[in-house]
Amino acid sequence: VCKPALVNIADLPTPALVVDLAAFEHNVTTMGAAWPGTSLRPHVKAWKCTSLARRLHERGHVGFCCATVREIDGMLAAGLGDDLLLANQVVGVNAKRLGDVVARADGRVTVAVDSDATIDAAAAAHVEEVLVDVNVGMPRCGCAPDDAGRLADRARAAGLTVRGVMGYEGHLMMEGAATKAEKVEAAMAILLRAHEAVGGDVVSGGGTGTYATNRWVTELQAGSFALMDTDYGRLGSPFRQALHLHTTVISVGRKWAVLDAGLKAIAMDHGNPTVADGDVWFVSDEHTTYAPAEGGALPRVGDHVRVVPAHVDPTIAKHERMHLVDGEEIVDVWDIDLRHW
């Protein structure tokens, strides 16, 4: 991927992903104060970018979570493989790929297991270390809590080192403040009971939405905090919106304007993106139609407008690179080099 010469933001083709470097640094500092060093295991899936990961590594967060074999492969190749956790299950072809990646690279790779099949796949792939993934209330991956001890025994019998447990309380990330502490404690009580049966040093879990609530894990799996989105922004945390899409107004109608960024540039699973002082009407493949907020003037064709996505992870995965800015000046360009599978 060729990097454009560093220029002013106004010289960028649109749409383009832009990161406010000061906001990013603020977010990293804020999270690092709460979860210093290896107590934070940043989740690579949120931004799929070794350049960003390296900034966290420099702050002492040298262990990372990954969600795909490609992320593991890329992090190892970038020399960021001190302690990688594939916090996801792999079997079949993907387990074989993971084995190939681990065999040829220097680095430490631990993989999540939650079933006999995933334990057998890890052993067959010659991955040496595992965490037992425990379901703590969200219907996704993770074994039944009562089964965690048996799975740990099976893993050890298969020659694997069991480092501990992980459990992701994803269903509580957006829980309201009044009930969040109580519900997170209950979910983590499930994880801690499983940990007693499993053993090991690691209790891994949590995310940006529970960074201030979860006091039970030994390491927090958070990624979105670094760049943020409007969904997590609703929680009122100290993290600042660091990411936006730089777009151009390409058409102006009677009451609306059209931007040149659409479904291929912006993830829609958490709802419409946000335009400052505007109401987004709808998003098409390559367009966003919006109207100025009550009383506001329509922009002019050629104007630039900032669009903020509702969900950071799948938005970033649509782009080739992000542009780091100090005000209007582009100071760095980071390839989004861990995309796909």
Binding residues for a copy of itself, rule: CB under 8 A, are 11-15, 45, 67-69, 88-94, 97, 114-115, 117-118, 135, 139-142, 144, 170, 248, 250-256, 258, 260, 263-265, 267-269, 281, 283-287, 289, 300-302, 311, 313-314, 317-320, 339-341
> What is the greatest pairwise CA distance in the chain?
70
Looking only at the bridges linking them, the beta strands covering 219-220 and 202-205 are parallel
DSSP state of 298: P
The CB-of-312 to a copy of itself minimum distance in angstroms stands at 10
Residues 203 and 195 sit within 8 Å (Cβ to Cβ): yes
**For residue 224, which of 264, 267, 282, 259 has the smallest C-alpha distance?**
267
Give every CB contact of residue 334 below 8 A, 6+ residues apart in sequence: 19, 49, 51, 52, 321, 322, 324
Number of other CB atoms surrounding residue 295 within 10 Å: 6
For a copy of itself, the closer CB: 62 or 221: 221
Closer Cβ to a copy of itself, 62 or 160, answer by number:
160
CB of 67 to a copy of itself, least distance (A): 5
Q: Least separation, in Å, of the C-beta of 314 and a copy of itself?
A: 4
Kindly state the smallest distance separating residue 282's Cβ from a copy of itself, in Å: 8
If the CB atoms of residues 62 and 133 are measured against a copy of itself, the closer one turns out to be: 133
* Cβ neighbours around 48 below 10 Å, total: 25
202 or 259, CB closer to a copy of itself?
259
Q: Which helix (H) or strand (E) holds 3?
A: none
CB 289 → a copy of itself: shortest distance, Å?
A: 5
In terms of CB distance, is 62 or 175 closer to a copy of itself? 175
